[in-house]
Amino acid sequence: MSAAPIDEVDVSLGKLEKTLKSDIAAAQQQIDMLKPRIGSFTSEQTARLLIASAVSKIFSGDFDEALSALDKAETKVNTPQYLSQIYNYRATCLIGLRRYRDALLVMGRNLALLEKIDDPIEKRDSYFRIANLYDELEAYDEMGLYASRILDLADNQQDTKAHCYGIFLLAMSQNGRGMLKQAQEGFQNGLSYCAEHGYSLMVAMINKGMGDTARQLGDNLAAQRYFRTSLAQYQQFHFATEIVSTSALLAQVDLALGEVQEAEMMAANVLAADSSSSYMAARRDALKVMAEIAANRHDFAKAYDYQKQYLELNGKLFDESRVKALAYQAAHFSTNEREQELKLLNKERELLLTRGMLREKEHNNMVTFVTLLSVAIIMLAAFSYWGWQQKQRFMRLSRHDQLTGIYNRSTAQFLGDNQFVQAMSRDCHFSLMLFDLDNLKLLNDSFGFGCGDWALCRVVECVKASLSRHHIFARTGGAEFVVIMLDVDAMDAMALAEQLRRSIADIDSHRSGHHFVITASFGVSSRTPDDLSLEPLINRADKALHQAKLSGRNRVCVAPEVTTEISDVDEVLSH
């Protein structure tokens, strides 16, 4: 077989790479036309076609097939330019497959490769994917750092695409950090700029980001408009993962606006999609929408089934968030640190070479000794750092209750002791309440432990909504919780306890698939001048809680020092 004309093949590949940026369906047709001729291509041309095929698979959400194509492409080329593209797209696939540690390692290899590349476009694309990786890991400060680097490249090279990337990523970083107004302004600027320069896919991403920001700001009508626009744009690209993700967000907004049929249709589309790990978050949100719709229709059997699936996926995603943190720690991945590491290693290497040339034979023994000592120090430092990382990881995992996500007993004790010391040093108010869910065992025996877990999680959500970020809220036992309040006097503590008691009693249990009433009994105590630690307050609150149980449950009882301080306890509780 004679080789295909190089110019003709290169022109066809150039057209294909351009089409990939605007029309995935048309690009796939071009790929199918070129594949039968791949045997006559040069190695570089074969790699380009395989990379294009991988990009097409990424848009359709077929990350395993994309990885296979990239592996084949890597065997065809060894130039930094193409290897950098392969590493970038491989990291994208690994992120989609939730293999975060592998993605971090691949991006680390790519950063080392970038030292050999002067092409600002390759650096721009690499920084873009690094920022996306940090977005997946919810490391929004680092994401903002790489957004700034892309904007610096844009200023230096007059690169409009880099400017579009940078504006979008900076707004996404602000959105993730809760800087919603700044994010909204950034998205607006990015929308007009990227649309003006014809970056259609980025326009779709920005519309989705604007919808998410509007949703968090409570403007559901604006969020609905942006999500619908973004969904239509993603559908033009056949971008499967983003279509599913945006549909799940749109279902939530439609339901909040009372458009039940539209919400149900969007949620059903999400659940009909592939159930792979890349769609877990979207499926969880869709299940929550379907459960609420079914409950409102009094179809409690379906509501229970959807709620059960939702809780299972929510648990998996909670575990995945911990996997992200562990992957981030294990890879020790920070581009700033990595660049400094590379520079330091290069300087050390140059220094060692210079010393070797100067001393050559005369100081061979000394050089050997210094080298061995350096290796020992580096190994000791690396082992110490690894041990510190492991300690930090286990400390973080040990601070929270696995089911509800709030603090556990030991963490509450530690933080409470610190706040108590503050209260003593400042001579300020300090109060504490214990509360216990009434008859949780009966609920578990009647409807199963899944229903009991639902009740515990719902109570935690309800209570957290009424607490400030300064309060310490923890689960201390099976159904027992504690709230520690610095700068809160006895009267306010009692009023808060009564408010929480009523909120818990108002919880609608229909969404669990069963009908039952959740109540809680409360015991409240406050600091006296004689208290020297947290323990006396806990003991008094526990006795008050016990009194509330004996008095018929679903009530607030207060310790004696609270009753003495407030003359009319009943009047406080009535308000």
Give per-residue pLDDT as tens, 125-182.
777 777 877 777 777 787 888 888 888 877 776 788 888 888 888 888 888 888 989 9
pLDDT of residue 333: 44
Nearest 10 degrees: CA dihedral of 244, 245, 249, 250? -30
Confidence band for 546, pLDDT divided at 50, 70 and 90? very high
Q: Looking at the predicted structure, is the pLDDT value of residue 545 above 90?
A: yes
pLDDT of residue 336: 47
Q: What is the pLDDT of residues 447-472, one digit of tens each?
A: 888 899 999 999 999 999 999 988 99
Segment 542-569 shows an average pLDDT of 84
The C-alpha atoms of residue 201 and residue 452 are separated, in whole angstroms, by 45
Q: Looking at the predicted structure, is the pLDDT value of residue 551 above 70?
A: yes
Higher pLDDT among residues 496 and 121, named by residue: 496
Residues 6+ apart with CB under 8 A from 159: 120, 121, 124, 153
Segment 112-116 shows an average pLDDT of 70
User: Tokens 């009530």 — which residue?
Assistant: 555
pTM exceeding the 0.85 threshold for the entire prediction: no
Residues 6+ apart with CB under 8 A from 400: 406, 407, 408, 411
Higher pLDDT among residues 21 and 173, named by residue: 173
The C-alpha atoms of residue 221 and residue 229 are separated, in whole angstroms, by 13
Confidence band for 351, pLDDT divided at 50, 70 and 90? low
pLDDT of residue 379: 78
Kindly report the three-state secondary structure assignment for every residue of 255-303. HHCCCHHHHHHHHHHHHHCCCCHHHHHHHHHHHHHHHHHHHHCCCHHHH
In order, the DSSP letters of 75-137 are TT---HHHHHHHHHHHHHHHHHTT-HHHHHHHHHHHHHHHTT---HHHHHHHHHHHHHHHHHT
Segment among 116-130, 209-223, 238-252, 352-366 with least mean pLDDT:
352-366
pLDDT of residue 346: 56
pLDDT of residue 359: 67
Q: Looking at the predicted structure, is the pLDDT value of residue 26 above 50?
A: yes
Residues 6+ apart with CB under 8 A from 171: 182, 183, 184, 186, 187, 190, 206, 209
The C-alpha atoms of residue 51 and residue 55 are separated, in whole angstroms, by 6
Confidence band for 342, pLDDT divided at 50, 70 and 90? very low
The C-alpha atoms of residue 22 and residue 238 are separated, in whole angstroms, by 10
pLDDT of residue 162: 80
Closest by Cα among 143, 83, 148, 125 to 333: 143
Confidence band for 332, pLDDT divided at 50, 70 and 90? very low
Higher pLDDT among residues 373 and 333, named by residue: 373
Q: Looking at the predicted structure, is the pLDDT value of residue 475 above 90?
A: yes
pLDDT of residue 435: 97
Q: What is the pLDDT of residues 371-397, one digit of tens each?
A: 777 777 887 777 777 867 777 666 666
pLDDT of residue 497: 95
The C-alpha atoms of residue 126 and residue 121 are separated, in whole angstroms, by 9
Confidence band for 335, pLDDT divided at 50, 70 and 90? very low
Segment among 274-288, 362-376, 449-463, 477-491 with least mean pLDDT:
362-376
In order, the DSSP letters of 119-132 are -HHHHHHHHHHHHH
Q: What is the pLDDT of residues 395-448, one digit of tens each?
A: 666 789 889 999 999 999 999 999 999 999 999 999 999 999 998 888 889 888
The C-alpha atoms of residue 132 and residue 139 are separated, in whole angstroms, by 10
Q: Looking at the predicted structure, is the pLDDT value of residue 111 above 80?
A: no
Closest by Cα among 570, 520, 521, 519 to 545: 521
Segment among 35-39, 65-69, 372-376, 535-539 with least mean pLDDT:
372-376
Arithmetic mean of pLDDT over the chain: 83
pLDDT of residue 564: 62
Segment 250-268 shows an average pLDDT of 90
**CA dist 132 to 50, 96, 104, 405, Å?**
23, 11, 11, 26
User: Tokens 């065997």 — which residue?
Assistant: 75
Segment 32-53 shows an average pLDDT of 88
Higher pLDDT among residues 564 and 58, named by residue: 58
